[in-house]
């Protein structure tokens, strides 16, 4: 575009952004990572409608109309198609606002920013931009024809390349593909099907990849009864292993003894002197030479042989909303005697899967106890009761307040107990003597026996049944949680036969993945239906909207191949990008079909109307696509700063729109020609049927 035209088109970006900020302010939304994702996504889309309106007005000026008339007629000709294209994008994002669960709350601000920015952009294109076009755009058309041609092609070298090379090549290509339209359609279907096979059998699905994660936990346990002082000594070798990490990887670490938890609200918190964890903080991803999974693998081997620490596990903290463990199985039954054998088999099975790490269960025994079991008859004969024995044992080991001493303005309580060294010996309890009602000292062992016992630290229940959870992590360089859970589900029938009283339920990331994908599926279904209804209202028939929505699979194909080439797994944010892409990629097809219909209303034949529309609309289609793509690519590749959490949605939209639009501009005209063949065949069938009925009547 000419510089002045490009300038007035780009004014829609700050206008829409600032208007959206007013909405954010009034709704008490802050500017944060999530809300800014929406503005990043929409930044390149904000000029799409303005490009189409301006390009159409400039075309009318080049045909000889004055700027004011061209601005008015250019907007009037294009406003239904532009409105439909913006509405399809809005309805694609709108269902994301109503997704269920924690994921819905997490992403709600993304579609909010996109929707309001697009609405303000649409208003600016219809009510502000035409005035700018009429006032500022001047294209002289009173020169001789040869000078007019020169004026239209002396923009830039890129403009010459566009006019003399790209457009002629594109026109010849489209003519060939329209002639061989069924072969073109078969090729497009084959590419789409191959991409689905690639996604199912050649790619992983990870709910929230850990690319941007910068910290993880190293959790460790010692034998029950270990003191805090002993744990402080036992953890030193493990700290040494972590401290030896390269400086370009390790940033800092913090050791906590006596507790294991992700955060203060963690329901799976473990407390006790035998527990501990080290929080490891890494350098930012762009600085360090290894990703988080590789760093954890670097620590696993040297951590295996640390003395006194009986169990060492690693747990990463992912970005995004809280999700469960990659592998999480809930084993339920009435009795632990039924649960524990099934738990052992599941753990042994997981050990046989490559890439499964940090296997553990929630059957956690507490500290070892000495239980005093009183013989009631012997105690009564000796003049003792269970209560008096309990008071004496408590006084000996915990102490009892004997008196208080008054000192000036405070009162000091005096507690009497056995010396600390004596309290730490089991034999002290066995030698303890209890005073009876006559003041005699009765040996405890003569009226009671002392047993060792160790009970559960935590009793877990689910659906009124006892429960033990089996959890594990996965090395994403080897396998994925989806793949491991699928293998486990295949083994469940055999396990159910072996343990009929036991029920196994999947939780953690598997449950979160199922919920999120179901919610995304509903969002995609609603968006697809809403897009289709808008197209039906715009075109006034059913066949053309059906043809337009076939561009959505072309976008999905582009996303799958883009993620595969980049070596990235499909993820929640990537799938959300596909849902959003559905509303964006149909825009080009809408404009193309609209121009085909206008040409046919003016008497142009079917094939020529397709070729003319493709030739005229290639420039605005490529401009709207490229502005959206270049608005997303800095986020996708971290140009100027990066946050790996938002990269998947930027990649999905950017590459999906780029190659999806390329496929659309090549394949879609052939699709229009095929639709014409279908309509002609339908008319022929109707005429044939009417002719048969008329002959029978005659």
The full set of domains in the chain, from first to last, is 3-140+153-207+513-689 (1.20.1640.10), 214-317 (3.30.70.1430), 369-453 (3.30.2090.10)
Q: If you average pLDDT over residues 65-86, what whole number do you get?
A: 87
Question: Residue 389 forms beta bridges with which residues?
Answer: none
**pLDDT for the residue numbered 408:** 76
Q: Where are the strands (E) in 286-417, listed by range?
A: 311-316, 327-333, 356-361, 369-374, 400-407, 410-416
The string of DSSP codes covering 486-519 is HHHHHHHHHHHHH-TT-EEEE-HHHHHHHHHHHH
The answer on pLDDT for 497 being more than 70 is: yes
Most confident of 214-223, 259-268, 688-697: 214-223
Q: If you average pLDDT over residues 572-581, what whole number do you get?
A: 84
User: HSE of 65 in the Cβ direction (CA atoms, 13 Å)?
Assistant: 17
Q: If you average pLDDT over residues 455-467, what whole number do you get?
A: 85
The residues, any chain, with a CB within 8 Å of residue 424's CB and separated by 6 or more, are: none
The answer on pLDDT for 160 being more than 60 is: yes
Order the strands of the 215-221 sheet from edge to edge: 250-260, 270-282, 215-221, 311-316
The residues, any chain, with a CB within 8 Å of residue 173's CB and separated by 6 or more, are: 666
Q: Distance between CA atoms of 596 and 589, rounded to whole angstroms?
A: 10
**pLDDT for the residue numbered 140:** 60
Q: How many other CB atoms sit within 10 Å of the CB of residue 644? A: 18
**pLDDT for the residue numbered 319:** 66
**pLDDT for the residue numbered 149:** 46
3-state secondary structure (DSSP) of residue 454? coil
**pLDDT for the residue numbered 320:** 64
For residue 213, report the phi and psi dihedrals to the nearest 5 degrees.
-70, 140
3-state secondary structure (DSSP) of residue 334? coil
CA 421 to chain CA centroid, Å, is 56
The answer on pLDDT for 255 being more than 60 is: yes
pLDDT in tens, 326-369: 888 899 998 888 889 998 999 999 988 888 888 888 888 877 88
353 is written with which tokens?
Answer: 């899967």
**pLDDT for the residue numbered 577:** 85
**pLDDT for the residue numbered 212:** 66
3-state secondary structure (DSSP) of residue 232? helix
3-state secondary structure (DSSP) of residue 230? helix
The answer on pLDDT for 73 being more than 60 is: yes
Residue matched to tokens 């309106």: 53
pLDDT category of residue 121 using cuts at 50, 70 and 90: very high
Q: How many residues does the chain have?
A: 698
E strand or H helix at 449: strand 448-453
Residue matched to tokens 């659309």: 664
The answer on pLDDT for 62 being more than 50 is: yes
**pLDDT for the residue numbered 153:** 44
Of 674, 681, 678, 676, the closest CA to residue 689 belongs to 681
E strand or H helix at 472: strand 465-474
174 is written with which tokens?
Answer: 């489209």
Q: If you average pLDDT over residues 650-671, what whole number do you get?
A: 87
**pLDDT for the residue numbered 277:** 92
Q: How many other CB atoms sit within 10 Å of the CB of residue 322? A: 14
Q: Distance between CA atoms of 140 and 64, rounded to whole angstroms?
A: 8
3-state secondary structure (DSSP) of residue 593? helix
**Kindly report the CA angle at 25 between 20 and 27, in degrees rounded to 5?**
95
E strand or H helix at 169: helix 167-179
Euclidean distance between the first and final Cα of the chain, in Å?
65
* Residue 165 DSSP class: I
**pLDDT for the residue numbered 253:** 93
pLDDT in tens, 408-455: 778 888 889 899 888 888 888 889 999 988 888 989 899 999 998 888
The string of DSSP codes covering 102-155 is HHHHHHTHHHHHHHHHHHHHHHHHHHTHHHHHHHH------S-HHHHHHHHH-S
Q: Are strands 400-407 and 215-221 parallel, antiparallel or unpaired?
A: unpaired
pLDDT in tens, 123-139: 999 999 999 888 888 77
């Amino acid at each position: 575009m000419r510089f002045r035209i490009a300038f007035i088109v780009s004014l829609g970006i700050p206008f829409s952004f600032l208007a959206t900020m007013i909405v954010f302010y009034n709704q008490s939304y802050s500017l944060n990572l999530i809300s800014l994702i929406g503005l990043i996504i929409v930044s390149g889309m904000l000029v799409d409608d303005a490009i189409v309106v301006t390009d159409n007005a400039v075309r009318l000026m080049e045909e000889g109309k004055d700027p004011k008339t061209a601005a008015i007629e250019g907007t009037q000709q294009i406003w239904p198609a532009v409105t439909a294209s913006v509405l399809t994008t809005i309805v694609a994002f709108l269902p994301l606002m109503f997704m269920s669960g924690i994921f819905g709350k997490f992403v709600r601000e993304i579609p909010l920013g996109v929707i309001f920015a697009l609405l303000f952009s649409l208003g600016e294109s219809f009510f502000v931009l035409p005035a700018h076009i009429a006032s500022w755009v001047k294209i002289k058309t009173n020169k001789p024809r040869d000078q007019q041609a020169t004026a239209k092609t002396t923009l830039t070298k890129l403009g010459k390349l566009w006019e003399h090379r790209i457009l002629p090549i594109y026109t010849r290509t489209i003519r060939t593909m329209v002639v061989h339209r069924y072969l073109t359609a078969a090729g497009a279907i084959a590419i789409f099907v191959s991409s689905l096979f690639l996604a199912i059998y050649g790619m992983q699905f990870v709910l929230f990849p850990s690319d941007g994660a910068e910290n993880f936990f190293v959790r460790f346990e010692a034998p029950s009864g270990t003191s805090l002082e002993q744990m402080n000594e036992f953890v030193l070798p493990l700290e040494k292993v972590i401290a030896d990490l390269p400086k370009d990887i390790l940033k800092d670490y913090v050791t906590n003894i006596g507790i294991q938890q992700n955060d203060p609200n963690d329901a799976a918190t473990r407390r006790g002197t035998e527990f501990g964890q080290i929080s490891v903080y890494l350098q930012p991803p762009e600085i360090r030479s290894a990703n988080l999974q590789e760093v954890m693998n670097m620590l696993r081997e040297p951590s295996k042989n640390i003395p006194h620490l009986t169990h060492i596990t690693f747990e990463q903290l992912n970005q995004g909303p809280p999700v469960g463990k990659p592998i999480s199985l809930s084993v339920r039954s009435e009795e632990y005697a039924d649960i524990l054998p099934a738990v052992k088999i599941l753990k042994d099975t997981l050990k046989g899967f490559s890439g499964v790490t940090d296997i553990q269960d929630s059957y956690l025994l507490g500290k070892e106890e000495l239980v005093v079991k009183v013989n009631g008859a012997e105690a009564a004969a000796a003049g003792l009761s269970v209560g008096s024995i309990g008071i004496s044992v408590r006084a000996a080991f915990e102490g009892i307040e004997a008196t208080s001493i008054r000192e000036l303005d405070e009162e000091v309580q005096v507690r009497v107990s056995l010396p600390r060294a004596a309290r730490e010996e089991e034999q002290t309890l066995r030698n303890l003597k209890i005073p009876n009602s006559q003041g005699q000292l009765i040996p405890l062992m003569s009226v009671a026996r002392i047993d060792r016992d160790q009970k559960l630290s935590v009793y877990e229940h689910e659906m009124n049944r006892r429960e033990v959870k089996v959890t594990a992590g996965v090395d994403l360089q080897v396998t994925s949680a989806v793949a491991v859970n699928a293998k486990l589900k295949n083994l469940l029938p055999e396990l159910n036969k072996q343990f009929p009283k036991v029920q196994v339920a999947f939780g953690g990331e598997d449950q979160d993945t199922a919920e999120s994908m179901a919610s995304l599926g509903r969002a995609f279904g609603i968006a697809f239906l809403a897009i289709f209804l808008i197209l039906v209202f715009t075109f006034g028939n059913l066949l053309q909207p059906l043809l337009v929505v076939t561009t959505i699979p072309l976008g999905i194909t582009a996303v799958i191949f883009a993620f595969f080439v980049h070596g990235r797994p499909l993820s929640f944010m990537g799938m959300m990008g596909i849902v959003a892409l559905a509303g964006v990629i149909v825009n080009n097809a809408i404009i193309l079909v609209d121009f085909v219909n206008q040409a046919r209303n003016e008497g142009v034949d079917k094939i020529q109307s397709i070729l003319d529309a493709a030739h005229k609309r290639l420039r605005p289609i490529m401009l709207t696509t490229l502005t959206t793509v270049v608005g997303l690519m800095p986020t996708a590749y971290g140009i100027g700063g990066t946050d790996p959490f938002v990269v998947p949605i930027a990649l999905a939209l950017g590459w999906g729109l780029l190659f999806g639009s390329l496929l659309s501009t090549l394949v879609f005209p052939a699709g229009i020609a095929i639709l014409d063949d279908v309509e002609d065949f339908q008319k022929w069938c109707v005429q044939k049927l009417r002719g048969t009925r008329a002959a029978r009547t005659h």
